[in-house]
Structure 1
Amino acid sequence: MPTSLSTPDSAYVHGYSPREAHRLGDQADTLVTLLHAGTAYPAGSRVLEAGCGVGAQTVHLAHSSPGARITAVDLSEESLTQARDRVAAQAPAADVTWLRADLRQLPYPDGHFDHLFACFVLEHLRDPARALTELRRVLRPGGTLTAIEGDHGSALFHPDSRRAHQVIAHQVHLQSAAGGNALLGRSLHPLLTAADFRDVAVQPRTVYADSSRPALVDGFTRRTFIAMIESVRTEALRTGLTTAADWDRGLIDLRRTAEPGGTFHYTFFKATAIRP
């Protein structure tokens, strides 16, 4: 799931509208237990959040690690402004330094940070291996990396629908055309291993929503995933991937998964690793 643009050779396919910022907040709040469980950093430790976007994850990172010294980096000045405001309102005691920078060329010496946190960032990079090499450089030996990514190929739902799968495929195509990879979650282990991290461990973190879990139906199925797909409608039509009629039929089917009798399943992948 997207956060924000983090390198200049990629385009953030969902844009920077207030609606998108709100969606990112909904996503982070809905998934906080699922994604942040097990992630906490000691007071005084230096933590780099790579690609912080609008600060939706920064807030929860700060809450789970009081006293940690967080440096939040993003390429988008607009996103950083929103992130500052969000953290000031929701985690005013947090120790956060904000920096506009390219993940491929960070202005820090080797081994500067104790921990790295990257959530929904690698999926937007044209060359995630290059970014991981740079992130590894600024991590001290023995320091930890936590990376979280989604994988749109894991979306399973009822009622099943070829047309609903097709609109998801259009989003995957558009993200690829923008330089990213909406299926990156499945490749986290080989990516981190190739970047010379060790003790790489990847855990699936699965979301399943049905009518017995109304908060997840609303917060994830409707306001996170379906809203994300809806956001690329204009671009899908502009590039000729589909017609308005076919797109709208696919969205109608996808929305049925959030209605009574519908179910939705999605898998995130959370990786941890150490710099030798």
Structure 2
Amino acid sequence: MDTTYVHGYTAPEARRLGDQADTLAELLHAGTAYPAGSRVLEVGCGVGAQTVHLAARSPDAHLTAVDVSEESLAEARRRVPGVDFRQADLFDLDGEYDHLFVCFVLEHLPAPEKALAHLKTLLRPGGTITVIEGDHGSAFFHPRSEHAQAAIDCLVRLQAEAGGDGLIGRRLYPLLDQAGFGDVVVAPRTVYADASRPDLVTGFTRDTFTAMVEGVGETAVARGLADAGDWARGIRDLHRTTREYGTFHYTFFKGTAQRIPGGAS
């Protein structure tokens, strides 16, 4: 699988992923629990940030989690004991599972439709897939800032240059449907943060979203996508949304679908 993780594999990025997963656990994982004895595959588990919550909500399921990065898997094994972690490329996966869970993976792939088509072959007839993706185009905030918006746009552009799509959330329904899944349902999971919700201000606006944008600053400036001064102002303005009377909005999209019994593989 030819893909580049635009955010890198640094210790701060591992912390950011953990902050994101913990802050948004109820928002993203509500409605997702698997029966005892079911075979569940998490694709692209990274450092295990989402695996923690999968395992907690489905303690009696047989959970296998895979990722291409052995470094990330080492952290995942430390974070979530008792899960069967394996190093594997998505397109090399085989076997049969009752349920698949794919979170923040498709956005990094140059051909997400091919990835979904392959993943469908891993599901037993009647098995389900759950896919969660963000959409950086859904970010809006107060106070409004053209410099902050430009910084976000740089992240989207860098992800596109790496073969991914930072706006993929809005594409989940057609991607799942075109891959041949049935019973496709996609719904928004919206984060809204202001001073009345300090945990979200800290855990999401500052430590997840702003940290994610800030993390690509050196690359954006080095590639000439942003002037150093303008970039610094954009990041300052994003941080300004975490202060008194600042507000921040972002939408994730969660899709569920099924491999229809008797359907094409």
TM-score range, shorter chain: over 0.9
Q: Which runs of 4+ in 1 moved over 3 A?
A: none
Q: Does 1:74 align with 2:58?
A: no
Q: Does 1:263 align with 2:250?
A: no
- Structure-2 residue corresponding to 1:134: 118
Taking only aligned residues, the RMSD between alpha carbons, in angstroms, comes to 0.7
What is the TM-score with the length of structure 1 in the denominator?
0.93
Q: How does 1:202-213 map to 2 (within 5 A)?
A: 202-213=186-197
Q: Does 1:33 align with 2:39?
A: no
Q: How does 1:1-276 map to 2 (within 5 A)?
A: 7=1, 9-88=2-81, 94=82, 96-106=83-93, 108-109=94-95, 112-276=96-260
Q: Deviations over 1:152-188 (max 9, x none)?
A: 0000100011111000000000011111100000000
Contact 1:105 1:134 in 2 (8 A): no
SS in structure 2 at match of 1:118: strand
State the Cα distance separating 1:57 from its structure 2 match.
0.2
> Mind listing any 5+ residue stretches in structure 1 that lack a counterpart?
1-6, 89-93
SS in structure 2 at match of 1:78: helix
Amino acid at match of 1:218: T
Amino acid at match of 1:122: L
SS in structure 2 at match of 1:130: helix
Amino acid at match of 1:85: R
How far apart are the structure 1 equivalents of 2:176 and 2:241?
34
State the Cα distance separating 1:105 from its structure 2 match.
2.1
- Structure-2 residue corresponding to 1:91: none
State the Cα distance separating 1:248 from its structure 2 match.
0.4
Q: Deviations over 1:84-119 (max 9, x none)?
A: 00113xxxxx4x21111111221x23xx10000000
State the Cα distance separating 1:238 from its structure 2 match.
1.2
State the Cα distance separating 1:207 from its structure 2 match.
0.2
Contact 1:126 1:180 in 2 (8 A): yes
How far apart are the structure 2 equivalents of 1:97 and 1:245?
46
SS in structure 1 at match of 2:132: strand
